[in-house]
Amino acid sequence: MERVKVLIVDDEHDFRQLFIKRFTLRNLDVDGVGSGREALKALDRKEYDVVVLDVRMPGMDGIETLKEIKKHHPSSEVIMLTGHGSVKSGIEGMSHGAFDYVLKPFKIDDLLERILKAHERRVLSRGG
Amino acid sequence: MDSKQYKLLRLKIMGAITAFSLIPLVALGSFMHLQFSQGYRERISHSLQRSVENRKAAIDMFLEENILQLRNMAWTHDFEQMSDQAYLQHVFSTMQSGNKAFIDLGVIDGDGRHAAYVGPYELGDVNYRGQDWFEKTMLKGVYVSDVFMGFRQFPHIILAVMRREGNRYWILRATLDSEVLNALVRNYQTGQRGDAFLVNSAHVLQTSSGLNGAVLGKMDQLAGPSRFTGARVEEHSVHGRTVLYGMAWLNNVDWLLVISEAPGESLSPLFRTQAIVISMVGGGLLLIMAGAAIATRGIVEALARTDRHRAELDARIVQSNKMAALGKMAAGVAHEVNNPLTLIRESAGWIKDLLTEEDPEAIKNYEEIAEAVDKIDQNVERAKGVTHRMLGFARRMEPMQENVDLNQVAKQTMAFLQNEALHRNIELRAELAPDLPHTATDTAQLQQVLLNLLENAIDAVDHNGTVTIRTRTEESGKKIQLSVIDTGKGIPKEMQGRIFDPFFTTKGVGEGTGLGLSISYGIMERLGGGIAVESEEGKGATFTLTLPVC
C-alpha cells in the first residue's frame, strides 16, 4: 500500500524535525516546511494527501495559508494545529474547509488517527 | 463615604441652613423689637414730659394766682388802712373765703416790724429786719420762700410782696399751708411705683414723696440738675431698676418738679411684645430646624443612594477590567507554554519511539527510562490541562453568543476548585444531565458566575461536607438549569431577599466585598437568564442558574 504523504507546516524547526521523525517511524511519508509560502511551493512541487498546518506563524498565518491551499489544491486535506487561544481558530479553520483541528500539545496516536481519517476521506472523495 | 461622614455632612448642611435662616430671622426680630421699644419708650417719655409740663404750669399758675391776689390786696389798700388790725382781719377773711390755703396775713413796715397781723400765732412784735426773706422782698418786690418750719413748727411757705407808697415801703406777707402744694403735686402720682414731688435747688423736698420720704427730707438721687427751661425726661437706675424721671423747674421759685415712673409698670406692654417676639423667633427657629432636618435627610439619603450606585458601577467596571486583564495574560501565558509543552511531549515521544527499536536486555536501565518518559508524558498532559483551562477563561469579556455545553463549563470550573475543596475535605460532586441541550451564552462570564457560586458554597461549608453541581432541563424543555447545592449553614430567611443587593455581605471586614452575587445577578440578567436561591437555616443553600436553550 502506498504511504500517506503528509506535509507539516510549522515555524518551529525542532518541532518539525521531531514530527517528521516520529511520523516517518509510523510509516508516513512526511516532509516539513517553516512557513505558509514554502508550504504552497511544496504543494506545487508534490502532491500531499494531508497538510498539518500550524495556525500561528509569522508572515502568512495558518488561516490565510489554508485559504490559499484550498484555492489551489482543493483535494489536499488540512488538519489545523493550534496552540493558540482557544478552539475558536480551529473552528474558524474548519469553516474554511479544514478537515479537523488538533490542540497542542497533542497525543501522537490521536493525531495519527486523524491524519489517517483525512487520508481515507481524500481517497473516498477522489474515488467517488 | 461611611455613615459617619454622611452624618457629618448632614450636620453641616443643617447647620448652614439653620445659621443662614437664623440671621434674617433674628435681624427681623430684633429690628421689630427695637422699633417697637424705641417707639414705646418715646411715647412714655413724651407723655411724661407733657404731664410734667402741665403740672408745672398748674403749680406755677397756683403760685402766681396767690402772689397776684396778695399784690392786688397791697395795691388796692394803703399802709394806713392795712396796719389797722380790724381792717386787716376783714381783708384776710375775704382772702380766706376764696383760698383756704392762707394761714395768716401780716403787714410789715420798712423797718421789719409787724404793723398788723392776723392769724393763729402771736407774732405781733417779731422784727424781721435782717432776715433773709425780708431782705429779698425789699430787693425784688416779690418773694416766695421754700417750705420751712419756722416759728410755727409745721411746713409752710411765705409769700410776700412789697409796696412803695411815696417814700414809704411796706410788705404784705401771707403764709401758705404747704399741704396745698402736696395736694397739687400728689394728685398726679401714677401707679404704685410712680412718684411726684417738688425739690428745691438744695435737694430739700418741698412736698412729701412716696418714695423719698416726708417733706423737708433730703433727696439725693437727682444729684443737682442745674436750672434748665422746659421739661426734661431722664432715665436713671435706682436699686438696679430703671426709673424715668420727668423734670421741670418752676418759674417763680427755684423748685424742681419731679414726676417719676417705674417703667416696670408702664413698660409691661413692651415686655409682653418682647416675649412675643422672642417666642416667634424661637418658634421660627424650631420650624426652620425641622425643615432643615427633613430637607437634609432627603438630600443626604439621595446622595448616599447615588454614591452606592456609583460604587457598584465602579466595582463592576473594576471587576470586568480585572477579568479582562487576567484573561489576556492567561491567554499569553498559555500560548507561550503550549509550544514548549508540545516540544517536550514530542521529545519524550521520540525517546519512547526509539526505545521500541532497542533490545530491552541490552540497555541496563531500559525499564527506568521507559517509566521516566511515561512520567514526562503524563505531566505534560497535566500541564496541558492547566493551560487549556486558562484559555477557557481567557475569552474576552464582552458577552458573546456561543453554543455552550453547560456540563462542560461546570466540569471545567469544578476542576479549578478541586484543590481548594480537597484541602478542606469537601467533596465536589457533579450530577450532570447527560442529554442537556446547549445554550447560547458567554462562556467566560458564565464561568465567572459559576466560579463565584462555587467559591461561596465552599466558604459556606467551610470544612467537611459536599458541594454538588446538578444540571437539568426544565419540563418545558425551553430552559436549562444548573444548581449549586451546599451542605453549609444556610441563609436565614430575612437575609435571602437581600443577598443580591450590592455590598450586602455576611463575611467579615476585608473578606468579602458583597459584590459577588450582585455582579452575578447582573451577568445572568444580561445573558437572558436568572439566578435564584433556596435555603433553610442549618440545612445548606441551593443557588440555581437558569439559562435559555438555544
How many Å lie between the alpha carbon of B356 and the closest alpha carbon of chain A? 11
Q: Tell me the average pLDDT across B428-435.
A: 90
How many Å lie between the alpha carbon of B342 and the closest alpha carbon of chain A? 4
pLDDT for residue B397: 40
What are B's interface residues with A at a Cβ cutoff of 8 A?
331, 334-335, 338-339, 341-347, 349-350, 353, 380, 384, 388, 391-392, 394-395
Contact B339 A106 (CB under 8 A): no
Q: Do B168 and B110 meet the contact criterion of CB atoms below 8 Å apart?
A: yes
Contact B346 A25 (CB under 8 A): no
Query: In the predicted model, what is the mean pLDDT of chain B?
Result: 82
Q: How far is CA B397 from CA B57, B401, B516, B520, in A?
A: 107, 12, 16, 14
A15 vs B: CB within 8 A: yes
3-state DSSP of B386-417: HHHHHHHHCCCCCCCCEEECHHHHHHHHHHHH
Contact A83 B342 (CB under 8 A): yes
Tell me, yes or no, whether A2 lies in a domain.
no
A13 vs B: CB within 8 A: no
- Quickly list H helices, B99-189: 132-140, 179-186
pLDDT for residue B422: 86
A103 vs B: CB within 8 A: yes
Higher pLDDT: B399 or B37? It is B37
Least Cα distance to B393 among B470, B304, B468, B333 occurs for B333
Q: Tell me the average pLDDT across B339-354.
A: 92
Lowest mean pLDDT among B62-66, B395-399, B449-453, B473-477: B395-399
A92 vs B: CB within 8 A: no
Q: Tell me the average pLDDT across B84-109.
A: 83
Looking at the DSSP bridge assignments, the partners of residue B177 are B156
Answer whether residue B391 shows pLDDT above 90: no
Tell me, yes or no, whether A28 lies in a domain.
no
pLDDT for residue B508: 64
CA distance B531 to B481: 10
Amino acid identity at B415:
A
Q: Report CA B59 to chain centroid distance, whole Å.
A: 58
Answer whether residue B212 shows pLDDT above 80: no
Answer whether residue A59 shows pLDDT above 60: yes
Q: Supply the CATH number for residue A57's domain.
A: 3.40.50.2300
Q: Do A5 and A22 meet the contact criterion of CB atoms below 8 Å apart?
A: no
Instruction: Record the pTM.
Output: 0.45
Residue B211, Cβ density class (10 Å: 0-12 exposed, 13-18 middle, ≥19 buried): middle
Answer whether residue B396 shows pLDDT above 50: no
The parent domain of residue A39 ranges over 33-101
Tell me, yes or no, whether A80 lies in a domain.
yes
Q: How many domains does chain A have?
A: 1
How confident is residue B111, by pLDDT bands cut at 50, 70 and 90? Answer: confident
Residue indicated by cell numbers 536501565: B365
Find the helix or strand (DSSP H, E) in which B258 lies.
strand B255-261
Answer whether residue B407 shows pLDDT above 70: yes
Contact A83 B380 (CB under 8 A): no
Least Cα distance to B60 among B68, B70, B50 occurs for B68
**Candidate from A19, A21, A104 with C-beta closest to B338:** A104
| Chain A environment of B331 (Cβ under 8 Å) | 85
Cis peptide before B155 (omega within 30 of 0): no
CA distance B87 to B115: 12
CA dihedral sign of residues B48, B49, B54, B56: positive
Coil/strand/helix, residue B158: strand
**Percent of chain B beyond pLDDT 70?**
89
Torsion angle of C-alpha atoms B519, B525, B528, B530, degrees rounded to 10: 90
Least Cα distance to A122 among A67, A68, A48 occurs for A48
Coil/strand/helix, residue B131: coil
How confident is residue A61, by pLDDT bands cut at 50, 70 and 90? Answer: confident
pLDDT for residue B45: 82
**Candidate from A18, A85, A106 with C-beta closest to B350:** A18
Q: How far is CA B5 from CA B60, B289, B448, in A?
A: 79, 20, 34
CA distance B388 to B394: 9
Answer whether residue A86 shows pLDDT above 60: no
Interface predicted TM-score (ipTM) of this complex, two decimals: 0.84
pLDDT for residue B451: 85
Tell me, yes or no, whether A1 lies in a domain.
no
pLDDT in tens, B260-271: 877 666 667 777
CA distance B394 to B330: 6
pLDDT for residue B326: 72
Closest chain B residue to A19 measured between Cα atoms? Answer: B346
How confident is residue A23, by pLDDT bands cut at 50, 70 and 90? Answer: very high
Lowest mean pLDDT among B8-12, B106-110, B185-189, B410-414: B185-189
Closest chain B residue to A107 measured between Cα atoms? Answer: B345
Tell me, yes or no, whether A44 lies in a domain.
yes
Residue indicated by cell numbers 400728689: B186
A109 vs B: CB within 8 A: no
How confident is residue B509, by pLDDT bands cut at 50, 70 and 90? Answer: low
Coil/strand/helix, residue B315: helix
Answer whether residue B398 shows pLDDT above 50: no
Sheet with B142-144: list strands edge to edge: B114-118, B102-109, B168-177, B156-165, B142-144
CA distance B173 to B67: 10
**Percent of chain B beyond pLDDT 90?**
9
Tell me, yes or no, whether A109 lies in a domain.
no
A11 vs B: CB within 8 A: no
Q: Tell me the average pLDDT across B71-83.
A: 84
A42 vs B: CB within 8 A: no
pLDDT in tens, B371-390: 999 999 999 988 887 787 67
A22 vs B: CB within 8 A: yes
Q: How far is CA A114 from CA A62, A103, A109, A121, in A?
A: 18, 12, 9, 10
Query: In the predicted model, what is the mean pLDDT of chain A?
Result: 88
DSSP secondary structure letter of residue B230: S
Tell me, yes or no, whether A64 lies in a domain.
yes
Tell me, yes or no, whether A55 lies in a domain.
yes
Answer whether residue A38 shows pLDDT above 90: yes
